[in-house]
Amino acid sequence: MTDQALALESAPARRHRPWLLLLAATWHQTRAKIGLALVALVVGIALVGPFFAPYGPDESVQVDGVFALPFEPPSDAARFGTDELGRDVWSRFLWGGRSVLALSVLSTALGAILGIAFGLAAAYSRGLLDEIFMRTQDVVLAFPQLVFALVLVATVGPETWLLVVAVGITTMPRIARVTRGAAVEVVERDFVRAAESIGVPQRKILFGEILPNIMSPLVVEVTLRLTFNIAVIASLSFLGFGLQPPAADWGLMINENRQGLVAGQPSGVVLPVVAIGLLTIGTSLVGDGFLRAAIGIERGGRRE
Amino acid sequence: MTSASALEVERLRVELEGEGIDIVDEVSFHVDAGEVLGLVGESGSGKTTVGLAVLGHTRRGARVTSGDVRIEGRSILALDRLERQGLRGKLVSYVPQDPAAALNPALRIGKQLDETLSEHGFGASGEERRARITEALGEVLLPSDDAFLRRYPHQLSGGQQQRVALAMAFANRPRVIVLDEPTTGLDVTTQAHVLVTVQELCRAHGVAALYVSHDLAVVATLCLQVAVMYAGRIVEIGPTSLLFRGSAHPYARRLVEAIPELSGAHALVGIPGSAPRPGNRPQGCFFAPRCSYAVERCRVEFPPVARVSQDHEVRCWEHDHVLADALAARTAAVPLPEIKAHDALVAIRGLDASHGARQVLFGVDVVVRPQECVALVGESGSGKTTLARCIAGLHTNYEGEITFRGRPLRAGARRRDRETRREIQYVFQSPYTSLNPRKTIGQIIGQPISLFYDMGGREMRARAVEVLETVQLGGSVLERYPHHLSGGERQRVAIARALVANPQLLICDEVTSALDVSVQAAIVDLLAELQRELGLGLLFVTHNLALIRTIAQEVVVMSDGRIVERGASDAVLFAPQAEYTMRLLSDTPSLEAALAASG
C-alpha cells in the first residue's frame, strides 16, 4: 500500500451545506423576494406596531375629555377613525396582528412536529403500524379544518391554547402524508441499512438519516400549511371562537366593524383584511419560491 | 457508394451548449458492413456521446459543432430534425443499456414491434409485418406465437427484454446499429447468448455495429476492431488481438492490466487518479498526469494520430517506448496467504431463508475462517445477497443456525449485542446509495466511532483520518459531502466506515459492480491487502468469477438458493465438478480466452 494518500480525484469541495443551497436558490427568485418583503412588512407591523400605537388596545378615543362616538370618520385624534365602540382603529390594528401571527405560527409548528414524527415512523415501520398511523391521519383529514376546530372550540370553550391544538391537529395529517411519501423512497436506500446494521437507534435513523433527505418537500409543505392556517385562524377569530372581546385581533376586528362598512367608516375592516391578504400572499410566494428552488436543485443536482 | 464504409465518423466534435467546452473532439472511425467495432472507455470518457451522435442525437445541453457522420455515404448531420427522426430505427437503430426502460411498459410486445415497422412504412399489410415480426423474433431466439406477442414487458425476464429490444433494432433491417452496453444488467449466461446473437445478426445481414462498452472482456469476445476512448478522444484504435496483446497507448495498457482474469496469474493494477472531466482537461496529452511514460512534450502538446501498422492508430508521443515494453512485464499476482486450521469465524448450517412466502435459500452451509476470504458467486437471484444479509442481521426471515466465534448469532442486528455488531461489518454494492448524501464524510465515518468507542471530538477526528488513510484517502475529505467524490472514492469511504469499527468479519456485497474496471482493480487490490494486513475474515459476494482468484482462497457457488459447488478457488476454477459451474465459466467473457481463440 502506498504510504501517501492518493491525491484526491474530484473537484474542490464547496462548503455549502445542502439547505443553504435551497435558501440561496430560493432567494435568487423575484417572487421569493417580493413574498419575503410582504411577510416582513406585515410581521413588522405586528411586532413593532404596538410601540407606535397612539392608544392602548382597549382604550377609547377622547377629545378634550369627551369620548368619541362609534364609527367616527378619520380625524386628528383618530387617524383611521373610530370603531364600533369609539376606539381608535389604527391603534387596534397595530395591536391586533400579534395574535393572528403567533397562533398561526404555533399551530403550524405543532402540526409540523406531529406530522413529521408520524409520517417518518409510518414510512420506516411499514406494515401494520404504517396502516394504523396513516388511517388515523385519514380520519382527521376527513373533517374540514374549520369544522374540526369549531367542534372542539364549541365543546370546550374559546380557549387560546385550544385554538392552537385544534388547528395544529388538523394540519398534522397533511404534513404526515407529504413526509411519508417522501420518506418511503429514502427508507429503502442502503445508507439506512448501513445504519441499522451497526445498531444506530431508531430515533436517530428517523431524524438523523432520513429527515435531512426530505427537507425540501417538507419546507415547501410547511410554508403552504402556514398560509392556510393564517386564514383559518383569522376565520375562527372572525366567527368569535378566537380571542374574546375586548382583545384587539384582526379577525375579531373584521367582525366587530362589519357595520362600519355601511356606516361609511370601512377602515376597521379594510386594514385587517389587507394585512391578512398581504401576509398570505407573501407566505405563498415564499413557499412557491421554495418549491421551484427544490425542483431546480433536484434537476441540476445530478450534474455534480 | 460501394467503396465507402457503412458507417464513417469524421473529426466529430460535441460541445456543451453555450460553454464551448468539448465533451468529445477529433473522433474519427469507420465500420464496414457486417463488422462490429468495440468502443471502450470508462465512465465519462464520452463513449455514449459518440454512440448517440451516430444517430444524429445529442443529450440535452450538448451539440455537435463540427465533424461528420456518414451512413453509406450519406451525411446524417446535414439532415434536419424530422429527416433524422425518419432514419432512426430504419437506417440506423439503437439498443440501450436498460431494456426495461426502452420498452413501453403499457404496450404489449407485439404492438411495440408492429409500431416500429409501421412507423417506417415497412410492409404493405399487417400480415407482411406480422411475418417480419416472426422472423425478427426468431433471429433473437424468441417465440412469436400469439401468447408471447400479447405479453407486456414486465412479464419477460431481463434477457428476454433485451432480445426484444434487439429484435426491434434489427426489425427494419438497418444498415448501422449502435449498442450501448446492452448486456450490463444481464447475467453471464444471458450475456453470452445476447453477444452471440448480435454477432450473427450483424454478419448475416451485413449490418455495421458500434458496440459501446466498458467491459473489455466482452469487447474482446465480440469485436475484431476496437477503439479506446479517454477523456473525449480516441486514443487508440486497431484490431482487437493486436491492441490487447501489445497496445501502443499507456492508458489502453493500464486498462488491460486492470481486467481481472480467471487464471488470476497477474496482479490487478488500478489506475491512480481519474479521468479529467470536460472543462478540466490539462494542456498537452490528457493522460499525461497519470502516465508513467510521460515526457516534457506530453504536458505541452496534444499528440497527433500516429500509425503503428495497417489499421492500428494511436495518439501518443511515446508510443515507440510503450510498444518496446513487452506486455509480459506485468506484475505477477501476490500469492494469497495459506489458511491454517482454525475454528470457524462464522458458520452457517442448514439455512433456509424466505422473502415473504417465497423461499430463496435452501439448506445452505457456509464457513468462513479467520483471515480467510470466501467468495460467494452466483447469478442474480441465486440468493447470495440474502445469505450475506442474514449474517449481517439485515434479513431476519430465516431458519437454521448461524454461529459467530462459536456463539449462536441472533436474527437481526438490533437483537445482537454491541460487540457482535462491531465485529461484523457490511459494505454495500453501490456507494451511490450507501452513503447519506446529506452528511459529510466526517459525520459518516464518525457514526460507528461514536457508537462503538468512547472518544472525544479530537480523538475521533484523528481516528477517522487514520482509517481514511488506510483506504488511501486523506483527512481532506472529512468536510466533503459524498457527491463531491467519485464512485471509487465513495466506495473507499464505505470501506473505511466498515474498517473503523475494527471488525473480525467483513462482508462485501458486489462492492465493485457499480465501478469502472480500473477502479474495481484498485478496490479489489485494497481489500486483498487489508485482509492480509488486518487478518480479516472476508465474505466476498460477487457475480464476477474473474475476480475470485485475485482475492479468495475458497469459493462457494450458488444457484437458485442452493450451493452447487464449493472448494478451493483453484480447484473450482480449473476443475469444476458441477455442471452449473462449468457453464458459468464457459459463459464468462475472458480476455485470455478471446485472444487465444483469435490466434
pLDDT for B423:
94
Interatomic CA distance for residues B434 and B445, integer angstroms? 12
3-state SS of B452-497? HCCCCHHHHHHHHHHHHHHCCCCHHHCCCCHHHCCHHHHHHHHHHH
Mean pLDDT within B456-477: 88
Considering only CB atoms, which chain A residues are within 8 Å of B437? 18, 213
Interatomic CA distance for residues A269 and A134, integer angstroms? 41
Spatial contact of B316 and B250, defined as CB atoms under 8 Å apart: yes
Dihedral sign computed on CA atoms, order B426, B429, B430, B433: negative
A204: closest CA of chain B, how far (Å): 11
Considering only CB atoms, which chain A residues are within 8 Å of B277? 11
- By Cβ distance, the residue of A5, A14, A213 closest to B438 is A213
Interatomic CA distance for residues A211 and A205, integer angstroms? 8
Considering only CB atoms, which chain B residues are within 8 Å of A194? 426, 428, 434, 494, 497
Taking Cα atoms as reference points, which of B54, B58, B89 lies closest to residue B72?
A: B54
CA A280 from chain centre, in angstroms, equals 9
Mean pLDDT within B281-307: 89
Interatomic CA distance for residues B180 and B47, integer angstroms? 9
pLDDT for B330:
66
Mean pLDDT within B336-363: 86
Test mutation, A191, A204, A209, A211, chain B, max B CBs within 10 A = A191
What does the pLDDT look like over B214-224, one tens digit per residue?
Answer: 888 889 888 98
> Model ipTM?
0.78
Beta-carbon pairs below 8 A across chains A and B: 108
- By Cβ distance, the residue of B394, B447, B477 closest to A193 is B394
* Beta partners for residue B307, in sequence order: B313
3-state helix, strand, coil in chain B (%, to 5): 40, 25, 40
Contact criterion met (CB < 8 Å) for B413 and A304? no
Residue B597 has pLDDT above 80, yes or no: no
Considering only CB atoms, which chain A residues are within 8 Å of B472? 1-2, 5-6
- By Cβ distance, the residue of A5, A15, A200 closest to B473 is A5
Contact criterion met (CB < 8 Å) for B481 and A18? yes
CA-based nearest residue in chain B for residue A185: B433
Contact criterion met (CB < 8 Å) for A199 and B451? yes
Mean pLDDT within B505-517: 88
- C-alpha cell read off for A221: 409543505
Interatomic CA distance for residues B531 and B57, integer angstroms? 47
Contact criterion met (CB < 8 Å) for B418 and A11? no
Considering only CB atoms, which chain A residues are within 8 Å of B392? 197
Task: Give the DSSP letter of residue A202.
Answer: H
- By Cβ distance, the residue of B392, B473, B481 closest to A6 is B473
Give the residue numbers in A contacting B (CB under 8 Å), as ranges. 1-2, 5-11, 13-15, 18, 189-191, 193-200, 209, 212-213, 215, 301, 304
CA-based nearest residue in chain B for residue A188: B433
Interatomic CA distance for residues A200 and A40, integer angstroms? 41
CA B445 from chain centre, in angstroms, equals 27
pLDDT for B328:
53
pLDDT for B468:
92
Contact of B274 with chain A, judged by CB distance below 8 Å, is answered with yes
CA-based nearest residue in chain A for residue B483: A304
pLDDT for A298:
53
CA B551 from chain centre, in angstroms, equals 18
Considering only CB atoms, which chain A residues are within 8 Å of B485? 9-10
What does the pLDDT look like over B50-107, one tens digit per residue?
Answer: 999 998 888 888 889 999 999 988 888 888 888 888 888 888 999 988 877 788 889 9
CA-based nearest residue in chain A for residue B269: A1
pLDDT for B3:
52
Residue B121 has pLDDT above 70, yes or no: yes
Percent of chain B with pLDDT over 70: 97
In single-letter form, the type of residue at position B361 comes to L
Residue B164 has pLDDT above 70, yes or no: yes
Contact criterion met (CB < 8 Å) for B428 and A15? no
Contact criterion met (CB < 8 Å) for B529 and A1? yes
Compute chain A's Rg from CA coordinates: 24
Interatomic CA distance for residues A91 and A70, integer angstroms? 15
DSSP A251-284: HHHHHHTHHHHHTT-THHHHHHHHHHHHHHHHHH
For B115, the enclosing helix (H) or strand (E) is helix B109-119
Strand B225-230 and strand B233-239: the pairing is antiparallel
What residues have CB less than 8 Å from B179, skipping those under 6 apart? B94, B95, B169, B198, B209, B210, B211, B212
Mean pLDDT within B441-464: 92
Interatomic CA distance for residues B415 and B412, integer angstroms? 6
Interatomic CA distance for residues A92 and A50, integer angstroms? 9
Considering only CB atoms, which chain A residues are within 8 Å of B430? 190
Spatial contact of A59 and A87, defined as CB atoms under 8 Å apart: yes
Ramachandran area for residue A200 (φ above 0: left; ψ -120 to 50: alpha; else beta)? beta
Taking Cα atoms as reference points, which of B484, B470, B371 lies closest to residue B431?
A: B484
Contact criterion met (CB < 8 Å) for B438 and A212? yes
Sequence-ordered strand ranges (E) for B96-249: 176-180, 208-213, 225-230, 233-239
Q: Which residue has the higher pLDDT, A3 or B153?
A: B153
A211: closest CA of chain B, how far (Å): 10
- By Cβ distance, the residue of A15, A194, A301 closest to B428 is A194
- C-alpha cell read off for A236: 375562527
Phi, psi of A134 (to 5 degrees): -75, -30
- By Cβ distance, the residue of A5, A7, A190 closest to B433 is A190
- C-alpha cell read off for A70: 362609534
Contact of B273 with chain A, judged by CB distance below 8 Å, is answered with yes
| Average confidence score pLDDT of chain B | 88
Which B residues in the span 37-76 are in contact with A, Cβ-Cβ below 8 Å?
none
Query: What pTM value is reported for the model?
Result: 0.81
10-residue block means of pLDDT along chain A (304 residues)?
40 55 82 92 91 83 78 79 83 89 93 94 89 88 85 83 90 93 92 93 93 89 91 88 83 86 84 92 90 68 36
Q: How far apart are the first and last CA of chain B?
A: 34
Cβ atoms within 10 Å, residue B415: 12
Contact criterion met (CB < 8 Å) for A189 and B470? no
Taking Cα atoms as reference points, which of A232, A248, A227, A200 lies closest to residue A291?
A: A227
* Beta partners for residue B3, in sequence order: none
Interatomic CA distance for residues B538 and B532, integer angstroms? 10
Q: Among the ranges A244-248, B204-208, B486-490, which has the highest mean pLDDT value?
A: B204-208
pLDDT for A229:
92
Please, what's the b/e burial string for B212-223 (b: 16 or more CB within 10 A of its CB; e: otherwise)?
A: bbbbbbbbbbbb
pLDDT for A297:
61
Contact criterion met (CB < 8 Å) for A199 and B413? yes
Phi, psi of B571 (to 5 degrees): -60, -45
Task: Give the DSSP letter of residue A106.
Answer: H
Considering only CB atoms, which chain B residues are within 8 Å of A304? 483-484
Which B residues in the span 182-221 are in contact with A, Cβ-Cβ below 8 Å?
none
Which B residues in the span 346-385 are in contact with A, Cβ-Cβ below 8 Å?
none
* Beta partners for residue A66, in sequence order: A63
Spatial contact of A222 and A108, defined as CB atoms under 8 Å apart: yes
- By Cβ distance, the residue of A2, A9, A196 closest to B394 is A196
DSSP B411-461: SSGGGS-HHHHHHEEEE-S-TTTSS-TTS-HHHHHHHHHHHHS---HHHHH
CA-based nearest residue in chain B for residue A213: B438
User: Per mean pLDDT, which range of A173-182, B241-250, B354-363 is the poorest?
Assistant: B241-250
Contact of B499 with chain A, judged by CB distance below 8 Å, is answered with no
Contact of B305 with chain A, judged by CB distance below 8 Å, is answered with no
Interatomic CA distance for residues B582 and B572, integer angstroms? 9
Phi, psi of A111 (to 5 degrees): -60, -40
Contact criterion met (CB < 8 Å) for A191 and B529? no
A224: closest CA of chain B, how far (Å): 24
Strand B537-542 and strand B505-509: the pairing is parallel
Interatomic CA distance for residues A267 and B303, integer angstroms? 81
Spatial contact of B58 and B46, defined as CB atoms under 8 Å apart: no
Helices (H), chain A: 18-27, 30-52, 89-95, 97-125, 127-142, 145-156, 160-187, 190-197, 202-204, 215-238, 250-256, 258-262, 267-301
Interatomic CA distance for residues B226 and B29, integer angstroms? 10
Question: Helices B487-499 and B441-452: crossing angle, nearest 10°?
Answer: 10
